[in-house]
Amino acid sequence: MMEKRYEEYAYILDFLLHGRPGIHVSGRAGYRAGALVQLVGEGFFTLLEALVKEGVTLKPYDRVFVGKEAREEITYIIGRIGYDELTAAARNELPTVISKIVLNREKWFVQFFNTARAVTPRMHALELVPGIGKKYMWQVINERERKPFESFYDLQKRTELPNPVKLITKRVLEELEGDSKYRLFTRAQ
């Protein structure tokens, strides 16, 4: 049996001081009690909603611990949410936060370019990244055979690939929005 893996850290997308509007048991609109945050995990880009400890104020781009042990800012992880459940503010912040995560995990993503394989007999994983067609795919494959890529800069310089951070960010967003049959960087919601 595979061990369940959870996000350890996440970035704040939106801070809702009075919770989120919802439908109360009585049928009237109400609010979930307490301050709430919408976050994106840095390991699997999991979209989460969580209750914030009383007296704590968080803002977009703050990095918080959401792992299993004692948390400083977060009381309780309510659960995973879908892209369509994000607030407008959270959706606006998401591309910037994803780019930040991609830059912080550069080594991991460069390794993806060094090791990506075919997904089907007719499609390579690299082609699933927006902006990478057959031409760039072969440039990446041929260059990595000569010498593995060491950084985004190295990848860009040797393959003339447009900004890899932007391309990966776009792919992650597509996966989170549910527009992708295959997942390269995210877990199914």
Vertex 125: Cα angle to 120 and 131 (nearest 5):
125
pLDDT for res 189: 58
Q: Mean pLDDT, 10 residues at a time, over the chain (189 residues)?
A: 73 88 45 80 95 93 93 92 95 98 97 96 94 96 97 96 96 91 83
The domain locations on the chain are 9-86, 105-177
| Angle 99-103-107 from CA coordinates, rounded to 5° | 140
Q: What's the CA gap between 162 and 54, in Å, rounded?
A: 45
* 9-86 and 105-177, same CATH topology: no
> Over the range 35-70, which residues count as b (16 or more CB within 10 Å of their CB) and which as e?
bbbbbbbbeebbbbbbbbeeeeebebeebbebeeee
> What pLDDT is stored for residue 59 in this prediction?
94
pTM above 0.95, yes or no: no
Query: What CATH fold (topology level) applies to the domain 105-177?
Result: DNA polymerase; domain 1 (1.10.150)
pLDDT for 31 equals 45
Is the distance from CB of 112 to CB of 184 less than 8 angstroms? yes
Q: State which amino acid sits at residue 79.
A: G
Domain 9-86 superfamily per CATH = Nucleic acid-binding proteins (2.40.50.140)
Residue 24 is predicted with a pLDDT of: 41
Are the C-beta atoms of 66 and 12 separated by less than 8 Å? no
